Amino acid sequence: MSPRPKSASEQAVRRADAAAPRRLVVDLRGVANLARQIRSPNRDARPDGAEVTLLVVHGISLPPGSFGGDAIARLFTNRLDPSAHPSYGTIAHLRVSAHFLIRRNGALVQFVHCTERAWHAGTSSWNGRERCNDFSIGVELEGADDIAYEAGQYAMLARLVKAIRRRYPIADTVGHSDIAPGRKTDPGPAFDWARLNRLMAARSG
C-alpha cells in the first residue's frame, strides 16, 4: 500500500519547520549546541561555589577595523603570528580567550565551556566585586567601537543571552567598558543596547 500523498497544507508546514531556526541551548557542560567548537587552552576552573551571574559583551577585530579571517581564533588559541601584521607584535604573546565569538554574519563560535573560566575581562569589577572572570561569561562580537554591528550579530547575541539565562542566574548584561572603565571602551558607541533589549523582549529565541 503506497503512502498517502501529503496535502498542500502539510507540505507547507514541513517546509516551515525545516526553515525554522533550531533552538539555541546551553547544556549542563556549558556547551552551546549551535556553536562551532574551537577549544582554547586559555581557561581554568572557576572558584569553588562561584555562580555565573554576569554576561560581558566585548568587541574585537584583528587587524583593528578589519573583519574576516582566522586571526581572532589564532589569538585565542595562542597561534597568532606576530609578523603577520604590524599590530600583532604587541598582542601575540597574550594569553586571552572568551567563551563565545559572534562573527559579522552571525555565526557562533565557542572557545571555552561556560562552566569554565575564560580569560576575557582582565582587571575588572562589577557592583563592588572584583575579578569578573570568576563569575562571568564573555561574548566577543567581531566589530569595532565606531563601526555599526550587523543585524545577524544582534539576532544571535539575543538568542545566546536567552540561552545562557535559561541555564545560569544572570543578573546583569554589560559591556567590557562597564567593568573596566578607563581601560576598555568596547563594545563601544556603535553597539545599540536598545536594539539588543528589543530583541531580548521578543518571544522567540
Is 142 in the active site? no
- The answer to whether position 158 is within a domain reads yes
pLDDT of residue 8: 53
Three-class secondary structure assignment of the chain: CCCCCCCHHHHHHHHHHHHCCCCCCECCCCCECCCEECCCCCEEECCCCCCCCEEEEEEECCCCCCCCCCHHHHHHCCCCCCCCCHHHHHCCCCCCCCCEEECCCCCEEECCCCCEEECCCCCCEECCEECHHHHEEEEEEECECCECCCHHHHHHHHHHHHHHHHHCCCCEEEEHHHHCECCECCCCCCCCHHHHHHHHHCCCC
Whole domain around residue 100: which residue ranges?
Answer: 24-201
Asked whether residue 138 is assigned to any structural domain, the reply reads yes
Within a domain: residue 9? no
Tens of each residue's pLDDT in the chain, 205 residues: 445 555 554 454 354 344 456 999 999 999 999 999 999 999 999 999 999 999 999 999 999 999 999 999 999 999 999 999 999 999 999 999 999 999 999 999 999 999 999 999 999 999 999 999 999 999 999 999 999 999 999 999 999 999 999 999 999 999 999 999 999 999 999 999 999 999 999 866 5
109 in any annotated domain: yes
Q: Is residue 55 part of a domain?
A: yes
Q: Which residue of the set 116, 140, 142, 150 is catalytic?
A: 140
Question: Is 124 contained in some domain?
Answer: yes
CATH number, residue 129:
3.40.80.10
Say if 10 falls within a structural domain: no
The tally of domains found in the chain comes to 1
Per the domain annotation, does 66 fall within a domain? yes
